Amino acid sequence: MSDWPDRRILELFGIENPILLAPMAGFGTPALASAVAEAGGLGALASATITPEQARADIAAYRALTAKPLNLNFFCHRPPQPDPARDAAWRARLAPYYRDLGLDPDMPLSASSREPFNDAFLAVVEALRPEIVSFHFGLPARRLLDRVRATGAKVISSATTVAEARFLEAEGCDAIIAQGAEAGGHRGMFLTEDVASQVGTFALVPQVVDAVGVPVIAAGGIADARGVVAALALGASAVQIGTAFLFAPEAKVAPPHRRALDRTAADETAITNVFTGRPARGVVNRLMRDVGPLSADAPAFPLAGGAVAPLRAATEPQGSGDFMPLWSGQAARLARPMPAGDLVRMLAAEAVARLG
């Protein structure tokens, strides 16, 4: 496709369509990423919930399916400080659900497995050389970041405010994802903790475009060609789409999550911290309604998830989505279920036609 008005991201990443698959930890697959890449978009793999060994296997699977560039994604949160009082308050808050389900509220919990970007993941980047490395929750320590750059990878990260975008540009990011409040999954916020003032995509993108010189990628609430064209009109050079790709058969979505996505209206999602300790948008379910959506008792990311996991394990097999994160953006109802490659081709063709 050669008819895109702004070619900066296409040239930076070596892709044909300015449509980027959002990395989605636990939901994306090499099949999903490679289908997007083969259709001319940017394929992405997320590492937040897997080990470096699993990341190596996912990259090998992707490389076997396509020769196109790869975006490898990492969380770069600070590991939480121990806070026994908060942990106890959280367990007490959840204890009634444990008792209802016949579980021991004091049962031992497994530790959360969300590692921030570290030396072990850096070794994966240095060995397997993803063309693009993206971060969520800011950027890693300078020492790690310099070594990522030394591999030749383009570095991008998410901004949820103009101040975060300016910070990322000053730190040398090659492009910036402007993540509006509509977005599904975790808010990339890192210079603010104020969820109430998070900015919507329509207001955020042009203000970030005005504030920085590097290309801007719009994310949040984009699920059809109208959204793609609107984002480009606001000055974005590309779009990053998550929720709409959850409807593709290549995505790994548990049945209760899939059912929630199928029926969710724009006003049935909320930003919650009850599943991980960090704000993230998902379909409102029982735990969010009862305990949140934002709870001061939830331990810091990623520890909140530890005490929720047994509740999920006890209920999901019965088809219940009461205690699992049903991540979704506000535009799920605009998504059309189809193979990911078809979705990229359809969005590109319809957007180019609309751009005239």
Ligand X SMILES: Cc1cc2nc3c(=O)[nH]c(=O)nc-3n(C[C@H](O)[C@H](O)[C@H](O)COP(=O)(O)O)c2cc1C
Residues at the site binding ligand X, with contacts judged by CB under 6 A = 22-25, 27, 46, 48, 73, 136, 179, 182-186, 219-222, 240-243, 246, 327, 329, 331
Rounded-to-10 torsion of CA 282, 288, 293, 296: -130
From the CB of 29, what's the least distance to ligand X, in Å? 12
DSSP code, position 46: E
Residue whose CB is less far from ligand X, 138 or 221? 221
* Cα–Cα dist 328/216, whole Å: 22
From the CB of 79, what's the least distance to ligand X, in Å? 17
From the CB of 292, what's the least distance to ligand X, in Å? 18
Residue whose CB is less far from ligand X, 101 or 334? 334
Residue whose CB is less far from ligand X, 26 or 105? 26
Residue whose CB is less far from ligand X, 30 or 185? 185
The DSSP bridge pattern shows strands 132-136 and 154-159 to be parallel
Residue whose CB is less far from ligand X, 46 or 144? 46
Written as six digits, the tokens of 189 are: 């916020």
Q: Which H/E stretch holds residue 134?
A: strand 132-136
* Cα–Cα dist 146/186, whole Å: 25
Residue whose CB is less far from ligand X, 53 or 104? 53
From the CB of 328, what's the least distance to ligand X, in Å? 6
- Please list, in sequence order, all residues whose beta carbon lies within 8 angstroms of the beta carbon of residue 134, skipping any fewer than 6 positions away: 23, 44, 71, 72, 73, 74, 155, 156, 157, 158, 177
Written as six digits, the tokens of 18 are: 């300015």
- 265 and 45 Cβ atoms separated by less than 8 Å: no
From the CB of 334, what's the least distance to ligand X, in Å? 9
From the CB of 28, what's the least distance to ligand X, in Å? 8
